[in-house]
Amino acid sequence: MKGPHVRQIQNYACHCLGLKSYFQRPGDGRARPRIPARDLVWAVVIGHALRVVSFLRLEWLAHSPVRAELGMKSQFGDDALAYCSERMDPELTRLALASVLHQAKRNKAFENSRFIGLALDGTGAGCTHKEPCRLCGPVKDPKGAVHGWLHHFVLISVVGVGLTLPIDVEPYGPGDSEYAAAQRLLRRAVGHLGARFADYVVGDGEYATAPFLHTSGEVGLPVVARLKENLPLLAAAVRARFDGQPPRAVFQEGDDRVEVWDYDHFDPWETLNWSEVRVLRYRQHKRDGTIIQAEWLTDFSLAKLGSLSFYRMAKSRWEIENQGFNDGKNRYGMEHICHHEPNSILIVWLLILLALVIERLYRQRYLHRGDHGIRSAMNLSDYLWLSLGTCNRPDTS
Ligand SMILES: [Zn+2]
């Protein structure tokens, strides 16, 4: 067998990433399981890597002649996937994701990066018009009329290391908030990863509020957050200091010229327990003439973090948008609700994260050894489909 193959990915996941015992015992909560949870969980993971995102189509795969080549031993129906995912304990999949991240760090998957970031952001997925579940939030028009339901969650992901690796999700339904969910998620992820795994937390403007910044401090991580007009006093102080002044430094970053203003003695706002606030303003000049300007705050000292590194941390926040939500929804089926039940929705989201992490590490770190170029995710998926059904043929080359 030459080239990438589903069974090679399964071996890589079990042995190089240390997931063998997780797949054997993924937290099955069924009283008398007839079909091993191992097959069901692996089917959801490899199915999403192959862009098969519904339980019905996974049933079709499980009954296909290539079932064994997909790494599944038993046949099953979509009802078994629904029944099992309703009863699985999400904690074991969360721990498995954290252990893969640790293994990746040990395997030097992040070796060219000085700082490891954790980005958080919220989104909605899985729009439905059916009877709402506990996690369904109403989609309202400007007049307040309800037009369907959406499932909201916060995602946390490793960023700033050359490949974006999601770690965990926290759903939030009506009566809860993105903000509260993000704090629960950050505490749990850092609890699973350990306080020394990452170097910073990054988030958009809605995370630049005292309780979230304090939570980040409590888990031992400096934070980089976007400064917007929701902090009017600080925003005004920043304008008073930076406007009309020459930049503190100018960098060439790729094709872009970046001017920065950086000052670390701004007063904290009333509820923030920091002694002072550092703010970076950057003005990014793109080659096509576009100029992007933004301000970010942090509790990193100037001695620990230079302006260029601060700029890169701020920019790493976009990874969760592009490689997290956009890829997750457009390529990995995160928009699709396989089975409309809260625990099942959560389990499938977590298994999509696991599929993403395995696929990215396999494609960008394992296959990308020596002089091989990096395959795109779509190219790998196409190749895996073509290689199914051909692996037992004799190699006549
Ligand atoms: Zn729902």
pLDDT in tens, 327-343: 888 888 888 999 999 99
pLDDT of residue 391: 56
pLDDT of residue 394: 45
pLDDT digits (tens, 9 = 90+) for 71-109: 999 999 999 999 999 999 999 999 999 999 999 999 888
pLDDT of residue 61: 94
pLDDT digits (tens, 9 = 90+) for 281-327: 999 999 999 999 999 999 999 999 999 999 999 999 988 888 888 88
SS3 label, residue 146: strand
Residue 10 sits in the same domain as residue 87: yes
Q: Model confidence at 24, in pLDDT bands (50, 70, 90)?
A: very high
Residue 285 sits in the same domain as residue 234: yes
Mean of pLDDT values over 375-397: 75
Residue 117 lies in a domain: no
The whole domain housing 225 covers 220-314
Q: Model confidence at 121, in pLDDT bands (50, 70, 90)?
A: very high
Q: Which residues surround ligand 1, an ion (CB under 5 A)?
A: 133, 135-136
Residue 368 lies in a domain: yes
Residue 213 lies in a domain: no
Residue 15 sits in the same domain as residue 61: yes
Tell me: pLDDT of 210 over 90: yes
Q: How far is the CA of 94 from the centre of ligand 1 (A)?
A: 21
- Cβ contact 307:260 at 8 Å: yes
Q: How far is the CA of 341 from the centre of ligand 1 (A)?
A: 7
Residue 371 lies in a domain: yes
Q: Which of 276, 298, 97 is nearest to 193 (CA)?
A: 97
The mean of the pLDDT values for the chain is: 92
SS3 label, residue 72: coil
Residue 249 lies in a domain: yes
Residue 245 lies in a domain: yes
pLDDT digits (tens, 9 = 90+) for 152-170: 999 999 999 989 999 999 9
Q: How far is the CA of 363 from the centre of ligand 1 (A)?
A: 33
Tell me: pLDDT of 395 over 50: no
Q: How far is the CA of 88 from the centre of ligand 1 (A)?
A: 18
Cα–Cα dist 335/325, whole Å:
10
Mean of pLDDT values over 388-395: 60
- Cβ contact 53:338 at 8 Å: yes
Q: How far is the CA of 342 from the centre of ligand 1 (A)?
A: 7
Give how many domains the chain has, as a whole number.
Answer: 2
